[in-house]
Structure 1
């Protein structure tokens, strides 16, 4: 009877201990599976973040390439615009030369006072169109760009636009003169020479003519055309003797 009782106690106890041992033996396998899942999840997250970073970099590269292409296009446009303006100014000089050649064979028209140009030949005085308020404002803004802001490239663009929009006015002559001044300051001497030539020949009776002839002489001197420079300076002295430009021309002639 005692043996039966002992067996009844020991058998369940043994089964319980076996269950505990079995549970303990299965715990490491579960933990290993959980760790592996976490590691894979971490790898997936890192891969996703790396992919996102690559996409961002590719997007940045495309955006930068787009900006470079836009800048290259803008540079090309500005270069072409500059060439077109240079050709346009050349054409204006050619047209002016033809007009002067025609004037040589025609009798002078009008009855106003007479001024001598850079060539020393009489030029009939004329009345220049007075500027409108909007025109005066546009001109003042250009002068501010030149004198105060020193933004010469923008000023050149605005000066060309000005002479196209407001032709044959009093301020138009000033605009041509300042175009020469800006080109002289950059310096782009050939363009400055052309701009001053327009004022000196086409607008020889204008108040800016004396200054234009003098600055034309300065430009020619910088270009190495010494003899032509002296001729222009002498023309200032002979044709505009009472002007401030004449005083400067005399100093130039005395020093050279």
Structure 2
């Protein structure tokens, strides 16, 4: 073989090798591109799943927050009701304590004045009858929680003992009981009796507050405002005056 022919053959073989090698490089690149696409697809799926999980968790969190708000609202409502019950019990116990003190003071005043045994017996018996009647009416509220039955008991007490020292208290409790039954007109009559006729009664501030509240409830805001203002002026340091201030701000 001539040198030129041999060189040409080498070049031809070398070119053929390059031509055969080129498709292999293209094939490798294609395989590499396919792997990247797969990886991107996996990442997209992961991101999509993560977003779905986050959205689901946010929804659950919102639901939990709503439930917590509802529970908080129920708790606050129950606390308010419990406080009202405790306040009513405190009023009742205070009422009993005041009444017992009055009875004790009255008995001390009567002792020097009576000398015969028969007179003493009759005076004490009359006093005990009055107190027993009042005890029975109060017990229906405090012990038995028989509010409907307590109303005729207090009404009977007013008729039987029209000059009793407990008359303003009886009117006050009748107002309370009828207010509970939504008998607003009857309740206002009793509260107004305490306010207008018993200026020295310890129930008068509370009666003013209750009467003002019922006046406001029945649309008589001007009268309620005047009553609340008088209550705050006459009894500034009482709980009733503080409550009247709150109600006055809403008129």
Q: TM-score, normalised by structure 2?
A: 0.48
Structure in which a larger fraction of residues adopt helix:
2
Name the structure, 1 or 2, with higher relative contact order (CA <8 Å, separation 6+): 1
Q: TM-score, normalised by structure 1?
A: 0.47
